[in-house]
Amino acid sequence: MNSNCFILAIESSCDDTAAAVINNGVILSNVVATQKIHEAYGGVVPELASRAHQQNIVPVVHQALRKANIDKKQLSAIAFTRGPGLMGSLLVGTSFSKSLAMGLGIPLIEVNHMQAHILAHFIKAEGQTAPNFPFLALTISGGHTQIVKVNNYFEMDVIGQTIDDAVGEAFDKSAKILGLPYPGGPLIDKHAQNGNPKAYPFTKPKVSPMDFSFSGLKTAVLYFVEKETKKDPDFVTKNINDICASLQYTIVSYLMDKLKNAVKTTGITTIAIGGGVSANSGIRKVLKEAEAKFGWKTHIPNFEYCTDNAAMIAMVGELKYKNGMFAKNDVVASARMKF
C-alpha cells in the first residue's frame, strides 16, 4: 500500500453519525455528531435516528475531510459500516458511501461494526499499544456483550455472549429506573465514584460460564427501588451514589468472572476491551489491576475510540484495503451481520 493512501470511513449503525480519515494507521480526523433528540425518549428511536443521519451525514463527512486537510479526489477508498445495527440508520451510511465511491470511481469496503470495536486497538495513537494475536476481546456496548477469540485481523470466534440484554442496556435501563437521563451508563459511572460498592448487594445472574444475562439485574433494581421508596420516598435521591456504586460493582465483577472463565478455557491471557461500556472507570480499573494480580496483558482503547466512532471503521477499512478485500457494488446493509 502506498503511503499516500487515504481512506474515508462512515459509521451510522445506531445514533451517532460519524466520519473519519485514516492514513497509514494514523487517524487524521474523527468527527462524531451525537444525536441529542433521543434523550427526551429515554432510548434510541430508530426512525428519528435515521432522519437525523440524513441531516448529519453531509456536514459530518465534509468536516472530516476538512479536518484531515484533504480533498475527496485524493481518497483511495470509502469504508462504511454494513452492520450490525438499526436498519434505517445503516441504510443512510450504506447508500451514501456507495454513491460517493461510485461517483469518485474508487473502491468500497464493508465493515462489521463489532469487528471494528475490536480492531480499534490497532489505530496508531499515543496511549495505545496493539495487542498480540491471539487475544480475547470483551466487546461491551449498548447493543452487544461478547467475548471473542481473535486469531488474526479477520478470523474471530465468538466464544461467549449475552442471552438477553446487552451490558450497556443494563446500565441504561437501571439508570432510567433511578430517574437518570439517557444514556445513563456514564452517569451511573459518575455517581459510583463517590459511593460504597458494597452498600447494596445485587445478585449476579447465573448462566453458562462464558455467557451473560442482564435482564434479571434490571428487574432486581426495579424491585429494590420500589421496596425502598415505599419506606422512604426520597431513598433514591439520598442514596444515589451508593446504589450506582453497588450496581457498577456487580456488573464489573460479573464481566470479570466471565473473562476469568474465558482465560481458563482458552489459555489466552492477552485481553482487549472495546465498545461504549469500555469507557467505564470501574472496568478500566479492575483490568489494569488484573495485570499485576493474574499476569494478564490488558489493552484499553483511548476514550474516543471506545464509544461509536468512524476511526475504528477506518482502521478496518485500511486493513481490508491492504488485503484487497473490497465490497461488491450490490452490497446491502445488514442489521444482523455476523462476523
Interface with Zn ion (CB under 5 A): 141, 308
For residues 321 and 76, is the Cβ–Cβ distance under 8 A?
yes
Residue closer to Zn ion by CB (options 165, 308) is 308
280 forms part of the interface with ligand KG4 (CB under 6 A):
yes
- Binding window for ligand KG4 (CB under 6 A); candidates: 58-66, 224-232, 273-281, 296-304: 273-281
Q: Choosing among ligand KG4, Zn ion, none, which partner's interface includes residue 277 (Cβ < 5 to 8 Å by kind)?
A: ligand KG4
- Residue-wise DSSP of 6-23: -EEEEE-SSSEEEEEEEE
**And the C-alpha cell for 150?**
481473535
Interface residues for ligand KG4 in 138-157 (CB under 6 A)?
141-143
Interface residues for ligand KG4 in 300-329 (CB under 6 A)?
307-308
∠ Cα 146 152 158 (to 5°):
20
Q: Choosing among Zn ion, ligand KG4, none, which partner's interface includes residue 317 (Cβ < 5 to 8 Å by kind)?
A: none
**And the C-alpha cell for 298?**
490488558
Residues 6+ apart with CB under 8 A from 181: 39, 42, 175, 187
**And the C-alpha cell for 162?**
449475552
Query: Interface mask (CB under 6 A) for ligand KG4, residues 189-218, using x and -?
Result: x-----------------------------
Q: Which of 7, 10, 14, 273 binds ligand KG4 (CB under 6 A)?
A: 14
Residue closer to ligand KG4 by CB (options 136, 279) is 279
Q: How far is the CB of 251 from ligand KG4 (least distance, A)?
A: 8
Burial class (CB in 10 A: 0-12, 13-18, 19+), 281: middle
- Binding window for ligand KG4 (CB under 6 A); candidates: 184-192, 196-204, 264-272, 323-331: 184-192
88 forms part of the interface with ligand KG4 (CB under 6 A):
no
Q: How far apart are CA 133 and CA 87, in angstroms?
A: 33
Sign of CA dihedral 254, 205, 181, 239: negative
Residues 6+ apart with CB under 8 A from 32: 16, 17, 18, 60, 307, 308, 309, 310
> Where on the chain is the footprint of ligand KG4 (CB under 6 A)?
14, 141-143, 168, 171-172, 183, 185-186, 189, 275-277, 279-280, 307-308
